[in-house]
Chain A
Amino acid sequence: DAGVIQSPRHEVTEMGQEVTLRCKPISGHNSLFWYRQTMMRGLELLIYFNNNVPIDDSGMPEDRFSAKMPNASFSTLKIQPSEPRDSAVYFCASSLYRVGGYTFGSGTRLTVV
């Protein structure tokens, strides 16, 4: 398996633009998580899905953020409109329950200017 695949690896966009981050989890994993890493807050959970259903989105900072998982092999995190304070590294992770912990993707480094 190629692991969790995220795209793009880097994204630079202007304030006010829409940004879409993509994630392909490991086949067979039933949970998917979106985390954001910043210096101030470390790794914080934004939203997670079980069997493609959003379970808890309380970590989504504002209504500008939305996430979808239309099927077991694909998820998106969208920011619209983007703001400079959204600049961070966004990680997607998947797991089969809790066994072995989560497998993370390589992340998307987002810069909003």
Chain B
Amino acid sequence: DQQVKQNSPSLSVQEGRISILNCDYTNSMFDYFLWYKKYPAEGPTFLISISSIKDKNEDGRFTVFLNKSAKHLSLHIVPSQPGDSAVYFCAAASGNTPLVFGKGTRLSVIA
């Protein structure tokens, strides 16, 4: 059973608008959450993270929000740029256990 779920396989957004990618998790022991970005023919690269003691973390155009009660996190990209077009993976871990990944959401930013 998937512990980390990304229910939207794809998302299209116009350049300059906000992109919102969502992720749900089932394991209440998860205490660290990350987003990875993946371009074709490359490995995933770390984008941004948040620990369970926070509800928001911001890095430039990227902000991750965590709602522990809903077991939900989201990644906001503002403003979206064509170079942001990629597959985004949500990942989670508890303690020092390995990261558990979602299936990914393909973001297309249209110029």
Contacts and interface: CB of A to CB of B under 8 A. Distances in A.
Contacts of A48: 98
Given A97-B96, A101-B36, A101-B49, A42 B103 contact: yes
Nearest to B4: A42
Contacts of B96: 97-98
Contacts of A33: 98-99
B12 interface: no
Nearest to A38: B103
Given A91-B44, A93-B43, A102 B99 contact: yes
A43 B45 contact: no
A103 interface: yes
A107 interface: yes
25 contacts: A4-B43, A33-B99, A35-B101, A42-B89, A42-B102, A42-B103, A42-B104, A43-B101, A45-B98, A45-B99, A45-B100, A56-B98, A91-B43, A97-B96, A100-B49, A101-B49, A102-B99, A103-B46, A104-B36, A104-B43, A104-B44, A104-B45, A106-B41, A106-B42, A107-B41
> Main secondary structure on chain A at its contact with chain B?
strand
Contacts of A104: 36, 43-45
Contacts of B75: none
A41 B103 contact: yes
Given A106-B41, A107-B43, A101 B101 contact: no
A105 interface: yes
Contacts of A43: 44, 89, 101, 103-104
Interface string A81-113: 000000000010100011011111111000000
Contacts of B99: 33, 45, 101-102
A45 B97 CA distance: 11
Nearest to A105: B43
